Amino acid sequence: MSKCCLCEQAASVHLINVDANGRMFETFLCAEHAENKEVSTPNAYQLMDILPHYDKGVVLSNHICPTCGCTKEWIESTHYAGCPDCYKTFKELRLTGAHDCCIHFGKIPQRKLSPEAFKPRLRYLQAQLQAAIDADRLEAAQQIQKQIRTIEKAIKACTQ
């Protein structure tokens, strides 16, 4: 049983922090100190359910997102990117599982809805369509064509 690093009581909270170099540090706190430090929030998720078990101080990865600190292992295990810069940092992972492509486009705010706002995504899809046709991936090309039609309808709706 682990003990609180501040008072030696039985620890009820196990914190894991990963620094910018990818080293993992563990901290154990009792319920009282965890409440004082405001580390127990109702929406917090348990990192140990997501991350594999690592020993203290082991470098997790030499690929770390400079913006949010996500590692390649974390993204591979959860299939979620931590921030838009993860798409650039981990482009070799091809983050297409939960997302349609490996480029982050984000939502377009209603007040900025214009045909120009859809152009980057449309250009990307047109390039993907051409690549799918060249590689004889006709089913993929058909799906991309549907996405292009959806965006073209949105552009028409903006201009009316």
- Amino acid 146: pLDDT: 92
- Amino acid 77: pLDDT: 75
Q: Do residues 146 and 131 share a domain? A: yes
DSSP state letters, 44-69 = ---HHHHSPP--TT-B--S-B-TTT-
CA–CA gap between residue 63 and residue 56 (Å, rounded): 18
Q: Do residues 56 and 86 share a domain? A: no
How many CB atoms sit inside 10 A of residue 142's CB?
11
Q: Do residues 133 and 86 share a domain? A: no
Q: Do residues 46 and 74 share a domain? A: no
Q: Do residues 125 and 151 share a domain? A: yes
- pLDDT, tens digit only, all 160 positions of the chain: 678 777 888 877 777 776 666 677 777 778 777 777 655 444 444 444 444 444 444 444 456 777 777 777 777 777 677 777 877 777 766 545 444 554 555 666 666 667 777 788 888 888 888 988 888 888 889 998 998 998 888 888 777 6
Please give the residue range of the domain that contains residue 124: 105-159
- Amino acid 145: pLDDT: 92
Q: Do residues 116 and 143 share a domain? A: yes
Q: Do residues 2 and 43 share a domain? A: yes
Q: Do residues 31 and 79 share a domain? A: no
Q: Which of 96, 118, 151 is the last residue of a domain?
A: 96
Q: Do residues 48 and 11 share a domain? A: yes
- Amino acid 101: pLDDT: 53
CA–CA gap between residue 12 and residue 23 (Å, rounded): 23
Q: How many domains does the chain have?
A: 3
- Cα distances from 143 to residues 1, 41, 104, 120, 150, in angstroms, run 53, 41, 19, 18, 11
Q: Do residues 36 and 70 share a domain? A: no
- Amino acid 137: pLDDT: 86
Radius of gyration of the chain from its Cα atoms, rounded to whole angstroms: 22
Q: Do residues 52 and 68 share a domain? A: no
